[in-house]
Amino acid sequence: MHSERTTDLSILYSNLKSHPTNQENVVLIKTGSMNPVHRSHISNMVRTKQYLERVYNFNVIGGYLSPTHDEYVHSKLGNELISGQHRIEMCRKAIEEAGQQHWLSVDMAECMGKLMELFQIYFHSRRW
């Protein structure tokens, strides 16, 4: 479940304050195993941001890499699993290395969540 403990919203608040606009605000979210995260994960987010701002005139105020929880990654990759805590840290470092920390962050909610909670959230959201 998303909370202040798992999701840093300060980037969104900061970008809303520093770039007030009448444009529609957008937040990007990239989920996946990120086992490991690589440059394409970051470049896809950057290119998507650029495209949405250029073509649709959206104001992208933030983006999140959201690594999938260990149970799912283990079922997919078995012993090649990199622990969730390490994948979170690798995402942070990849964002810093790319110089994108002014708008990109790591959302830890999915990675830190329990499998049943995630299914409940997913199925509840699908009803709407």
- Position 89 in a domain: yes
- Position 15 in a domain: no
- Position 104 in a domain: yes
* Residues of the domain holding 70: 24-125
Number of domains the chain contains: 1
DSSP states of 22-33 as a string?
Answer: SSPEEEEEEEE-
Which CATH number covers residue 85?
3.40.50.620
Instruction: Say how far apart CA 104 and CA 61 lie, in whole Å.
Output: 9
- 12-57: per-residue pLDDT in tens? 999 999 877 889 999 999 999 999 999 999 999 999 999 999 999 9
- Position 5 in a domain: no
- Position 28 in a domain: yes
pTM score: 0.84
- Position 17 in a domain: no
